[in-house]
């Protein structure tokens, strides 16, 4: 399998964490796509993923699977022992809901803020920006952090009692928050404590070095 990837990207990090959690490193070859150069908007790349985003999984039969959740579901199902996306119908439903909520309320909101209210990937890539929309999404992400604070006051993981894809999505959100200098609010102590715990997981610690291209400096 190949994964089209950018080593500092918060979304690709989600899939690299899933790869490590599933111990699939030896089965994956990472192919670096430089977002700052707009390599994800070329016709060649758009043929792999219509949305022009990373990551993308390419199977050995030439099938392309985009979207972090879809890739994670594929990887998790490979060995017949799902550990990230749920075993029972209830677990599956809860994990899917909480992962989607983490995208809507946190990670995607920060991404919009980055692309619209900051220089983002630079003028050659950011062809349309709407700063007001970006700042609104920043406020939404901060509200999202408070939502996950309330969740984590009641349970050890985002979707309940076990680590799952939903945790990985919130981790992606907080990685992106750090990149745009958006700190976890001081009053969100449970969220910060959970994040500190998450950073002790080898999959999270090794997420950058796993795919960093030799020539990349940042």
> Contact between 53 and ligand GTS (CB under 6 A)?
yes
CB of 107 to ligand GTS, least distance (A): 8
When the beta carbons of 43 and 89 are compared against ligand GTS, the nearer one is 43
Other C-beta atoms lying within 10 Å of the C-beta of residue 179 = 14
d(CA 70, CA 154) in angstroms, rounded, equals: 28
Q: Which of residues 95-154 bind ligand GTS (CB under 6 A)?
A: 111, 121, 125
Vertex 134: Cα angle to 139 and 9 (nearest 5): 95
User: Of 3, 18, 35, 65, which one interacts with ligand GTS (CB under 6 A)?
Assistant: 35
When the beta carbons of 10 and 160 are compared against ligand GTS, the nearer one is 10
d(CA 193, CA 112) in angstroms, rounded, equals: 26
Burial of residue 201 (CB within 10 Å: 0-12, 13-18, 19+) is: middle
When the beta carbons of 40 and 96 are compared against ligand GTS, the nearer one is 40
Q: How far apart are the first and last CA of the chain?
A: 25
User: Of 3, 4, 7, 9, which one interacts with ligand GTS (CB under 6 A)?
Assistant: 9
Residues that bind ligand GTS (CB under 6 A): 6, 9-12, 35, 40, 53-54, 67-68, 111, 121, 125
């Amino acid at each position: 399998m190949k994964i089209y990837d950018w080593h500092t990207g918060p979304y690709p990090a989600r899939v690299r964490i899933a790869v490590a959690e599933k111990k699939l490193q030896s089965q994956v070859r990472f192919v670096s796509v430089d977002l700052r150069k707009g390599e994800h908007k070329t016709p060649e790349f758009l043929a792999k993923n219509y949305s022009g985003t990373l990551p993308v999984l390419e199977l050995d039969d030439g099938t392309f699977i985009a979207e972090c959740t879809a890739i994670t579901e594929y990887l998790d199902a490979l060995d017949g022992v799902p550990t990230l996306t749920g075993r029972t119908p209830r677990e599956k439903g809860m994990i899917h809901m909480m992962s989607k909520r983490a995208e809507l309320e946190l990670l995607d909101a920060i991404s919009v803020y980055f692309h619209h209210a900051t220089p983002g990937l630079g003028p050659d890539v950011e062809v349309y920006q709407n700063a007001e929309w970006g700042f609104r999404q920043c406020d939404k992400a901060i509200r999202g952090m408070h939502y996950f604070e309330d969740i984590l006051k009641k349970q050890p993981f985002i979707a309940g009692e076990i680590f799952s894809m939903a945790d990985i999505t919130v981790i992606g959100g907080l990685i992106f928050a750090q990149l745009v200098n958006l700190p976890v609010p001081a009053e969100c102590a449970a969220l910060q404590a959970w994040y500190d715990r998450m950073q002790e997981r080898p999959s999270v610690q090794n997420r950058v070095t796993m795919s960093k291209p030799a020539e990349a400096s940042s």
